Structure 1
Amino acid sequence: MKNWKSLAVIPLIMISACKKEETDPPGTDTSGPRLVFKFKFDPDQERLNNFGQPSSIPAEHGAQTPDFNGMSAHYIELAPSGYTPLGEGEVVFYGAETNVGGEKAVDFSKAIIKGDGEVFYSIPLSQVATGNYQWARVSLAYQNFDINFRWDNVDYTGTLASFVAYRSYINTYKIKTASRSVNANKDQGYWGFEATYPVVGAVTIDGQAQGTTVPNPLFDTSPIPAGSCVVTGQFENGLTITGNETEDIVVTLSFSINNSFEWYDVDQDNIYETQAGDYPVDMGIRGLIPIVEP
């Protein structure tokens, strides 16, 4: 598969001029071994900041490790070195986009959403350039997870749908049991929350977080554009593709969800209470480790 050289000169809406669709095009040879990507959500993986350094929880904020239901990515790239500019590596996946909402945006209606341990995407190895890759870049688009919260001094569990792509066109989305109609573009950080109360039943609200953490250990040598959600992680021993493979190569994309749901905590009690005025401030994944399965 060719390198998408045009990506290096445009910001991540950046990576929109050329793309590999989420399914193999008609007539593509899909026989033979494949490069397979699986998701893993790790609550114990190190919690990192935007620079790929260990991160603590800021003062006046609360945080918790959510229980993930599913995630979607928009873009996967393999980079030979830490100096490879964004888009000049091997782009093996690029999801659907649309202009229906005005500006170009990720098309949520075509999102591939997968849970922990599930295969997100695969591509024939014959379509991937041979070489040794040291880094993986994954642009995340959507997250769905359960969190704990308190209302009227009673503890509940709610579900949060979080849109973290640079921009998403959303027609309708389902949080847990309830659906919300948007039919518009939403910027990175848009979220919808659903909780079920006795007698009242399901209640939904939505809002907009101001920031999303995007760990990039290559901040100095290979930066990513502001507003993107391209999380970067290093293979422990690299990923080598020779072109002579006879079996699938399986890569587990292990994401740190360690205290990844962060909110402004009015009472400073580390309990999420919208009734007290708490609100989400950051839902970004806290690190990526790509692992080649033996």
Structure 2
Amino acid sequence: MKLLKPIFLLAILLLISCNNDDTECCANPEPQANLIVKLKFDPNQERLNNLGQPASIPSGNAAQTPTISRMSANYIEFAPNAFTGLGEGEIIFEGSKTTEGGTEAIDFQDAIFAGNNDVFLSIPLNQITPGDYNWVRVSLAYQEGDIDLLVNGVDYTGTLASFVGFNTYISSFNINGSTFTVNENKLQGFWAFEALGFTSQGQAPPGATTVPNPLFDSSPIPQGSCVVTGQFENGLTLTGNETEDVVVTLSFSINNSFEWTEVNTDGKYEPEAGEQVVDMGLRGLIPMVD
């Protein structure tokens, strides 16, 4: 009888091995469950102030609801309760930082972006400590969207880039084909604007950017940090034994979130009249488990 060819013999040995109950060589690995974080920009969500309370537009100011196209965050934390201090909860995401501009700052060139109802983050659930979480903290870094303005009696739509992080190192960025070269750190409130090829940039006053924190009394946040806080309606429980993805949607209020001082009392943003941007912060956060 002829000897079996080596390749044929190897195939038989592998088949025998895979029929052995003591081996897992032919078993299909279980799919890994992930935490998926999505962003949502809600124009109808309640408009809140820094204390997380309903807020109206101050006398002498006007506001509008922008159309946000994309956003970036630099930090996301799950907190078990109202007394969990900033940084003492489960930090699920930290973005890149740099000292290229001197002091530590968010590295805008390495930022992650997501649009409305888009996935911002996906991480294996086994990397998150099991537990009951009731609050979410999100340090926002950047938002970009369209706003309406009035110039010489004509209505236009332009694109606004808002750097709302505590401190951001920006080498350059592009809005609608127009490049802004910065190469330095910019504090919270730096903005840039483009419409029909016209560009401008400026800086909102310190502390002017609204950062809603309903836990102001029990868990304060540093001024200028842009850490928006929101509560899960029914909490979020992670057991560590999840076999399916868990989807958390971070719904941000953009309800009249772009605010300026009025020179002409007409409810329209008129930069040429000297109307100044005073606030471009988000107006609330509601985290939801889908």
Q: Which residue of the partner structure matches residue 202 of structure 2?
A: 207
Q: Which residue of the partner structure matches residue 278 of structure 1?
A: 275
For residues 38-72 of structure 1, give each alpha carbon's deviation from its aligned partner in whole angstroms, at most 9, with x where no partner exists: 00000000000000000000011110000011000
Q: How does 1:2-41 map to 2 (within 5 A)?
A: 32-41=32-41
Q: Which residue of the partner structure matches residue 176 of structure 2?
A: 176
Aligned to 1:219, the other structure's residue is in SS state coil
CA distance in 1, matches of 2:137, 2:157: 32
For residues 112-161 of structure 1, give each alpha carbon's deviation from its aligned partner in whole angstroms, at most 9, with x where no partner exists: 11100100011110000000000000000000010000111000000000
Q: Which residue of the partner structure matches residue 238 of structure 1?
A: 235
Q: Which residue of the partner structure matches residue 48 of structure 2?
A: 48
Aligned to 1:244, the other structure's residue is in SS state coil
Aligned to 1:254, the other structure's residue is in SS state strand
Q: Which residue of the partner structure matches residue 64 of structure 1?
A: 64
For residues 194-220 of structure 1, give each alpha carbon's deviation from its aligned partner in whole angstroms, at most 9, with x where no partner exists: 010xxxxx0111000111100000001
Gaps of 5+ in 2: 1-30
Q: How does 1:68-107 map to 2 (within 5 A)?
A: 68-107=68-107
Q: How does 1:215-294 map to 2 (within 5 A)?
A: 215-293=212-290
Offset of residue 268 of structure 1: 1.8
CA distance in 2, matches of 1:260, 1:176: 22
Q: Which residue of the partner structure matches residue 140 of structure 1?
A: 140
Q: Which residue of the partner structure matches residue 22 of structure 1?
A: none
Q: Which residue of the partner structure matches residue 13 of structure 1?
A: none
Indicate yes or no: 2:154 matched with 1:154. Answer: yes
CA distance in 2, matches of 1:268, 1:144: 26
Aligned to 1:109, the other structure's residue is in SS state helix
CA distance in 2, matches of 1:261, 1:177: 23
Q: Which residue of the partner structure matches residue 111 of structure 1?
A: 111
For residue 167 of structure 2, what is the amino acid of its counterpart? R
Gaps of 5+ in 1: 1-30, 197-201
Structure exhibiting the larger radius of gyration computed from Cα positions: 2
CA distance in 1, matches of 2:78, 2:60: 38
The runs of 4+ residues in structure 1 deviating greater than 2 Å are: none
Offset of residue 176 of structure 1: 2.3
For residue 184 of structure 1, what is the amino acid of its counterpart? E
CA distance in 1, matches of 2:175, 2:260: 19
Instruction: Quote the RMSD (CA, aligned, Å).
Output: 1.0
CA distance in 1, matches of 2:159, 2:288: 29
CA distance in 2, matches of 1:97, 1:175: 23
CA distance in 2, matches of 1:239, 1:206: 41
For residue 119 of structure 1, what is the amino acid of its counterpart? V
Aligned to 1:193, the other structure's residue is in SS state strand
CA distance in 2, matches of 1:170, 1:40: 25
Q: Percent of aligned positions with the same letter in both sequences? A: 61
CA distance in 2, matches of 1:242, 1:89: 16
Offset of residue 177 of structure 1: 2.2
CA distance in 1, matches of 2:276, 2:34: 43
CA distance in 2, matches of 1:191, 1:278: 14
For residue 203 of structure 1, what is the amino acid of its counterpart? F
